[in-house]
Structure 1
Amino acid sequence: MFQNVDGDSAPSRSPFDWHDVRFIGAAAGRYALPDRRADDTGKVAVYACRLCSISTRIAVIVGPVVGKEGETVTAHFDDFGILRGKICRKLQSGFAVRLTLSDAERNKLGGKIVWQKKKVHEQVPDKREHKRILPRDPRTILTLADGTQMPCFVIDISQSGVAISAEIWPGLGTPMAVGKLVGRVVRYLDVGFALQFIQLQEPGQLEILMAPPAGIAEESGAVG
């Protein structure tokens, strides 16, 4: 307890009010922009995203759709739980969210951040036939069969296919290209869909081939 100038006891405050903590590192998650309604049903679209950094005040997120400054964001990350706030600035790689937290919630999040910074991650062998990787830059361009292009977010990618989050819900079998990688939609995900490439790719070339064509990312604003 803290003492005020009159000697009375004052309510204790979270130590994170005085000394903020920050975690910098990739964490997969999902987010929604509740102010937007996807269709007449009133459903809100949910997109995949990646958390780049987080403190008890600000979270920096990369995702396929960026709202306007002041727009509400609700996100979920396994290690940090549900986060709510408002976009305070748009960044070249995504957007920053000013978190809306009570003192108790801020204290709890601060503890999770400290734990996450200290936690030792065990390396578990990937037993899948084609190992999935998280690209260093998940932003790229999706090209449909009619030539339409739009920004998208790569959830993960392997030699045989890629998982995508974007502002469309294509039918199964729909052909499209992610960067220079061509494939067809083979299944749906909670936050997007998966493509199977028409041929296996070299692991070392995946990030090069999935990148947006030169100049297009800047012109279209690949995630925002």
Structure 2
Amino acid sequence: MTAQQARAPRLAARRLERRRHQRVQVALLGRYMLADRQEYPCQTIDVSPGGALMIAPVRGKIGERVVAYLEHIGRVEGEITRHIPQGFAFSISAAIRKRDKIASQLTWLANRQALGLPEDRRHERIVPRSPMTIIKLESGRELEARIIDVSLSGSAISLEVTRPPLGAAVTVGSTNAKVVRHFQGGIAVEFRLALSPDRLDENIIL
């Protein structure tokens, strides 16, 4: 075996690792939590399966643990590695399967940007951890309901009672909305005002 042949597997492994950690310039909204468990909004500048650079109001300390929830990516955690004037960079600690999933999402985002496809947030939906809620009708009647999923613009809701008519004004928890669609066992509502992106995660309470 020649020296070149011996080096080939190592070179291939390094190229694979570079592809896995290739940074994609993408602006993803989200929120993050530092060691003091305070939460802050953020926006990424670039992301790779191994780390992210983001705009953040509080930079934390080098080496401090950070947990972030980023749209399209979900929950990631790691340590702050460096500061920039408007934020910080952090490493992402994740299993290989999670890194591969992030890489796939980043590839999709990069291709979407290259093709000039519009970003349609209306189809980004999450399932809340605490799905039970109360729907209040214009008459003042209150209905127990279960949230199926939520997006920035609306929600699908399961109801075991008579459904409010299309166009009816309702309050889902404390969020004003109107009924825009019926389906078997529930309704879809559109919020009067779109939710803030930093609210859209599995801990949301309407």
Task: Give TM-score scaled by structure 2 length.
Answer: 0.47
Larger RCO (alpha carbons 8 Å, 6+ apart):
1
Looking at CA atoms only, which structure, 1 or 2, has the larger radius of gyration? 2
Q: TM-score, normalized by length of structure 1?
A: 0.44
**Structure with the largest fraction of helix:** 2
